[in-house]
Amino acid sequence: MAKGIITTKPSGSTPNGRIIVSDGTGADPSGRTATALQIGSTVDYTDAFSVGLGDLVEFVVDEKGIAYAIKAISTGTVLTGTVSDNVTVNAGESVLISATVEGKVVVNGGYVTILDGSRIGGKIESKVTDSYVFSNKVLIEGKVELNGASYLSLQNTTVEGKVSTDGTVFTSVSGCTISGSLEVLNAKTCQCSGNTVSGKITTPGCTA
């Protein structure tokens, strides 16, 4: 089964619930689709399963790519409004941010998903393996820095500092505006495209 984080709960009968993919392998055990789901991509679902926002879940997809058989692995925490302190995400935790965070975000082996319109006043950092950082249409006023075998997906995000990763399993930076440099080193999978970068770009082995 694939894994992901619940970012939107469904309403009505249309598939408008949404899951962001953290592990796309095993999404279709029947073999209808040939490839795994992309890390950081989203899949829709319809049924109001007994899972909540921010929950880490397992799921499979049908022939239309709609998720079903959704099962919670761990309960998530949702941050809204304004958070004046730092946010620390520890191993096994899943934190969904739809908020203004005045401090920094430190990921120590857990999952942090930052939703559209959020603002992070400090930096986002991880020095621990198996950390997951997902950001889409977010303003990050500090830098983004991940070291070790972790996962980063920055999509359509504005970063006022630098973005750097070293030794990640997966790094994807697409459609972002970066005031500092963009450096992706020793990534097992690296995808960078459509970015506006003011500083130096160092992304050996990345695919567009």
Tens of pLDDT, residues 78-127? 999 999 999 999 999 999 999 999 999 999 999 999 999 999 999 999 99
Nearest residue to 49 (alpha-carbon basis) of 77, 107, 9: 9
Burial 25-60 (b: 16+ CB within 10 A, else e): eebbeeeeeeeebebbebbbbbeebebebbbbbbbb
Residue 34 reports pLDDT greater than 90: no
Res 35: pLDDT: 64
Q: Where are the domains of the chain?
A: 2-74, 77-202
Q: What is the mean pLDDT of residues 1-5?
A: 95
pLDDT band at 33 (very low <50, low <70, confident <90, very high): low
Res 141: pLDDT: 98
Q: Cβ-count burial of 81 within 10 angstroms (0-12 exposed, 13-18 middle, 19+ buried)?
A: exposed
What is the spatial distance between Cα 44 and Cα 18, in angstroms, rounded to a whole number? 5
Res 46: pLDDT: 86
Residue 36 reports pLDDT greater than 90: no
159-184 pLDDT per residue, tens: 999 999 999 999 999 999 999 999 99
Q: How many CB atoms lie within 10 A of CB 144?
A: 27
With beta carbons less than 8 A apart as the criterion, state whether 171 and 150 touch. Answer: no
Q: Cβ-count burial of 13 within 10 angstroms (0-12 exposed, 13-18 middle, 19+ buried)?
A: exposed
Res 207: pLDDT: 82
DSSP β-ladder status, 17-23 and 2-8:
antiparallel
Res 190: pLDDT: 96
- Residue reference for tokens 């082996």: 109
Res 161: pLDDT: 97
With beta carbons less than 8 A apart as the criterion, state whether 114 and 95 touch. Answer: no
What is the average pLDDT score of the chain?
93
> What does residue 62 show for φ and ψ, rounded to 5 degrees?
-90, -170
- Residue 128, amino acid: V
37-86 pLDDT per residue, tens: 999 999 999 876 789 999 999 999 988 889 988 999 999 999 999 999 99
Res 110: pLDDT: 96
Contacts of 90 (CB under 8 A, 6+ apart): 108, 109, 110
Q: What is the mean pLDDT of residues 137-144?
A: 98
Res 195: pLDDT: 97
Q: What is the mean pLDDT of residues 148-156?
A: 97
